[in-house]
Structure formats: structure tokens, C-alpha cells
């Protein structure tokens, strides 16, 4: 099997691991932050170690190309985020709704119905505003 057979090359900003919805930039970002194969497998339990090692090997064998890909992906994300900031995030209805949700969350934290980290317990319910 050729190493590239482990991946779906969708376009310049999307290389997905074959058979999964996980993109190589997700796995490689964690790898480049110091996570080893075992930690990556815990983070992505649906992926086999073979595919995790294939992703790392693909990166190591094509470092310049994959680094350029990762830079394109990050640039695209930043552009979409800036566009979102200019449209959705500046919408008064969005701002008002977000404020209501944050206040409701603070109230739930004080009452012990939610944790500050956002982790939900087994008896947590959804806040409706």
C-alpha cells in the first residue's frame, strides 16, 4: 500500500484521513505540540495506530509540503474567523443572545448546576433563554 492511500486529498486545504472525518492538520497539530502516537490514539480512538503512524510518516516524509498545507489551512481559518467577526459577531441580536447565555451560565455556576470549565454532569440540562 502506498502511503498516500491512507488519505483523501480533497483540495488544497482539505486532506482527510481515509475512512474518517479527521483531517491530517488536526492530528499533526497535536503531534507538533508534543503528543506521541499513544496520546493521539487516545484523542482519536476511532483511528487505528496504523493510520496515526501513517499520518506522522507522511508529515516526516513530506515536511515542506505538509507545512505549506498547514499554513494554508491556518490562513483559511483566520480569514473565515475575520469574516465571521465582521458579520455574525457584530450583529446586535447575536451579542444580546450571547450576553443572556453567559449570564445564565454564571447563575448556574453560582447555584452549582454547572461547572466553570463547561463540563456537564450527568444531571445537567440545557439552559434556555
Report if pTM > 0.85.
no
How many CB atoms are located within 10 Å of the residue 107 CB?
Answer: 12
pLDDT at 55 over 90: yes
Mean pLDDT of the region 30-41? 96
Mean pLDDT of the region 118-127? 50
Grade residue 127 by pLDDT with cuts at 50, 70 and 90. Answer: very low
Helix (H) or strand (E) segment spanning residue 29: helix 24-32
pLDDT at 123 over 70: no
- More confident site: 75 or 3: 75
Weakest mean pLDDT among 1-5, 31-35, 119-123:
119-123
Question: Hunting for cell 454564571 — which residue is that?
Answer: 106
What pLDDT is recorded for position 125?
Answer: 47
What pLDDT is recorded for position 74?
Answer: 94
CA 35 to chain CA mean position, Å: 15
What pLDDT is recorded for position 128?
Answer: 47
Q: Which three cell numbers stand for residue 117?
A: 470549565
Return the half-sphere exposure (C-beta side, CA atoms, 13 A cut-off) of residue 122. 0
124 contacts 113 by C-beta, under 8 angstroms:
yes
The contacts of residue 8 (CB under 8 Å, 6+ apart) are 15, 16, 17, 18
Amino acid at each position: 500500500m502506498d502511503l498516500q492511500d491512507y488519505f483523501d486529498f480533497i483540495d488544497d486545504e482539505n486532506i482527510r484521513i481515509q475512512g474518517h472525518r479527521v483531517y491530517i492538520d488536526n492530528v499533526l497539530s497535536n503531534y507538533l505540540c508534543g503528543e506521541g502516537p499513544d496520546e493521539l490514539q487516545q484523542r482519536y480512538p476511532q483511528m487505528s495506530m496504523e493510520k496515526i503512524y501513517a499520518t506522522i510518516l507522511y508529515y516526516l516524509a513530506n515536511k515542506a509540503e505538509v507545512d505549506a498545507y498547514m499554513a494554508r489551512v491556518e490562513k483559511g481559518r483566520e480569514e473565515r474567523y475575520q469574516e465571521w467577526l465582521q458579520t455574525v459577531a457584530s450583529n446586535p441580536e447575536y451579542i444580546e443572545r450571547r450576553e443572556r447565555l453567559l449570564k445564565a451560565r454564571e447563575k448556574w455556576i453560582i447555584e452549582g448546576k454547572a461547572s466553570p470549565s463547561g463540563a456537564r454532569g450527568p444531571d445537567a440540562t440545557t439552559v434556555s433563554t
